């Protein structure tokens, strides 16, 4: 049964193209202070590349997870402007966000590219946080399941079950990102359940039961508890509300309002 395993919640702040090194250290410092009172939950931050090194040094010995927002699929090479997975590992990252809709929309990240990056991430000891999600027009055309199925199947191609169960999947409906318009609890649950079932078909029930699926798109303190209470919602990938300690802590303390 898919829900017999208790999945540890995982909430990651995706800082996108925000925060200088100084600002990053200030934000992380505030989170570190609050971490001990948050209970059994994985918390991570995904600063821009330029702040990863400094944040990693500040996080030494801390349980806070460090994620990058993207990577290249080669281990090294003549790829001006790109960052390789071993470099992320070297700087102290444990996770890397891949296939975010902003990468897909503005930087040409295709399903195939996301898959190459995901395989490279695993090969170099990083856990990918793989994002899927439909555009508003796709939802309105009734294609939500079709789109996320295509994205998920492509992203996991050639990845074995042992690796897949360690991955984090993030369902981020594009119409809910940065718009203030969140998916309802039921809309999120419906897609999460679909994704988990699909992982079960691609691999097996135990992999589906172990894989954590985050919801992303205008998550804030006010809606976090409702979303997190859904049986197949195991966490959140937070954009705007992760940039201020009070706002992010309001989400991390979702159990207080549930």
Name 90's Cβ contacts closer than 8 Å, sequence gap at least 6.
none
Shortest distance, CB of residue 119 to ligand 13P, whole angstroms? Answer: 21
Shortest distance, CB of residue 234 to ligand 13P, whole angstroms? Answer: 15
Of 102, 134, 138, 172, which one is the catalytic site residue? 172
Q: Cα(176)–Cα(183) distance, rounded to whole angstroms?
A: 6
Of 72, 95, 100, 192, which one is the catalytic site residue? 100
Neighbours of 91 (CB within 10 A): 17
Neighbours of 40 (CB within 10 A): 7
Residue 100 is among the residues annotated as catalytic for this protein: yes
Q: Which residues bind ligand 13P (CB under 6 A)?
A: 14, 100, 172, 177-178, 216-219, 237-241
Nearer to ligand 13P, 113 or 130 (CB): 130
**C-alpha 91: how far from chain center:** 19
Q: Cα(24)–Cα(18) distance, rounded to whole angstroms?
A: 9
Nearer to ligand 13P, 176 or 198 (CB): 176
Shortest distance, CB of residue 144 to ligand 13P, whole angstroms? Answer: 17
Q: Find, among 214, 228, 243, the residue nearest to 100 by Cα.
A: 214
Find the residue with minimal CB distance to ligand 13P: 239
Shortest distance, CB of residue 47 to ligand 13P, whole angstroms? Answer: 13
Cβ atoms of 116 and 73 within 8 Å: the answer is yes
Nearer to ligand 13P, 14 or 70 (CB): 14
Residue 134 is among the residues annotated as catalytic for this protein: no
Q: Cα(116)–Cα(114) distance, rounded to whole angstroms?
A: 6
Shortest distance, CB of residue 76 to ligand 13P, whole angstroms? Answer: 28
Nearer to ligand 13P, 2 or 18 (CB): 18
Q: Where are the strands (E) in 82-240, listed by range?
A: 95-98, 127-132, 168-171, 212-216, 235-238
Angle between helices 245-252 and 221-228 (to 10 degrees): 20
**Residues carrying an active site annotation:** 100, 172
């Amino acid at each position: 049964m898919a829900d017999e395993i208790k999945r540890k919640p995982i909430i990651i702040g995706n800082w996108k193209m925000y925060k200088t090194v100084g600002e990053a250290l200030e934000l992380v410092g505030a989170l570190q202070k609050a971490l001990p009172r948050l209970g059994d939950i994985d918390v991570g931050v995904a600063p821009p590349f330029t702040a990863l090194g400094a944040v990693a040094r500040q996080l030494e010995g801390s349980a806070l997870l460090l994620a990058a927002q993207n990577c290249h699929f080669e281990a090294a090479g003549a790829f001006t402007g790109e960052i390789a997975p071993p470099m992320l590992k070297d700087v102290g990252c444990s996770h890397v966000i891949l296939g975010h809709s902003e990468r897909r929309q503005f930087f040409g990240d295709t399903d195939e590219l996301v898959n190459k990056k995901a395989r490279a991430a695993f090969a170099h000891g990083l856990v990918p946080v793989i994002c899927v999600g439909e555009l508003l027009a796709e939802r309105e055309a009734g294609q939500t399941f079709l789109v996320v199925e295509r994205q998920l199947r492509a992203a996991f191609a050639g990845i074995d079950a042992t690796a897949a169960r360690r991955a984090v999947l993030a369902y981020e409906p594009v119409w809910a990102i940065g718009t203030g318009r969140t998916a309802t609890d039921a809309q999120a649950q419906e897609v999460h359940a679909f994704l988990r079932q699909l992982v079960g078909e691609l691999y097996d029930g135990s992999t589906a039961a172990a894989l954590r699926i985050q919801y992303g798109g205008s998550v804030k303190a006010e809606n976090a508890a409702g979303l997190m209470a859904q049986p197949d919602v195991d966490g959140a990938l937070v954009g705007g509300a992760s940039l201020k300690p009070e706002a992010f802590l309001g989400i991390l303390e979702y159990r207080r309002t549930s």
